[in-house]
Amino acid sequence: MKKIGVILMIIMMTGALFTGCGEKAEPSVSGNVNSKIDAKKMADYLVENTTFTDDMSPVDMEIFLSLYNLDESVVKDASLYASTGATAEEVAVITATDKTGMELIRKSCQQRVEAQKQAFENYVPEELTKLETPVMKQVGDAFVLVVCNDSDKAEELIDNYTNTEV
C-alpha cells in the first residue's frame, strides 16, 4: 500500500510540472487584506468543518513546496492537507512574504489545480468535478485553496473565518 502512495505522489508531482491550459477559476479576495492569518489554524478549521470523501493528512513543508512549485522565500507560512491520493481533495492555506509572493502563490495554486486535472483525467475522472469548482481566495495575508465536493460550504467557511473561531 505504501508503494501505491509513493507512486501516486510521484505522479502528482510530475503532473505539477506539466500544467495545462484551460479555463481557470478566478481567485477572489475576502476580508481585510491586511489581517494576519495563522495558516495552520485556518487549515485545521477548514479540514474539521468541511466534508471530505477521503482521509485528509497534513503534508510536510518540503513536499508542499515541491507540489506547488514554490520557493520558500515567497512563503511566510503554509499548511497543506491532502487526501490519500485516491481523490483530488486538498486544503492549502499559504501566507506570503509580500505582494509579489502573493501573486506567485496565486498562480501556483491555479497551476496546481490544472496539474491535478491532468493527473486525475485518466486516473479517477470522477474527481474532475471537484477540480472544476475549486475555492481559491485571498484572505488577509493568506491565499486559500480548497478542493472538495461542497465548494459553497468551503467558501462560506472561509468568508466567515477569523482566527478566534479556532
* Residue 66: Cβ-neighbour burial (10 angstroms; 0-12, 13-18, 19+): middle
pLDDT value, residue 164? 55
Check: CB of residue 143 under 8 Å from CB of residue 137: yes
Q: How far is CA 48 from CA 42, 52, 55, 64, 157, in A?
A: 10, 10, 11, 20, 11
Give the pTM: 0.80
Residues above pLDDT 70, as percent of the chain: 76
From the centroid of its chain, how far is CA 73?
19
Longest CA–CA span in the chain (Å) reads 44
- Under the banding of pLDDT at 50, 70 and 90, the label for residue 119 is very high
**Which domain, by its residues, includes 147?**
2-17+27-165
Establish if 55 belongs to a structural domain: yes
109 assigned to some structural domain = yes
Residue 73 lies in a domain: yes
Position 100 in a domain? yes
Is 22 within a domain? no
The predicted pLDDT at position 36 comes to 87
Q: What confidence score (pLDDT) does residue 23 get?
A: 39
Could you tell me the sign of the dihedral formed by the alpha carbons of 68, 136, 154, 143, in that order?
positive
pLDDT digits (tens, 9 = 90+) for 1-31: 444 444 444 444 444 434 343 334 445 444 4
Buried b (16+ CB within 10 A) or exposed e, 85-101: bebbbbbbbbbbbeeeb
Task: Please give the mean pLDDT across all residues of the chain.
Answer: 84
Mean pLDDT of 36-44: 95
Q: What is the pLDDT of residues 75-88, one digit of tens each?
A: 999 999 999 999 99
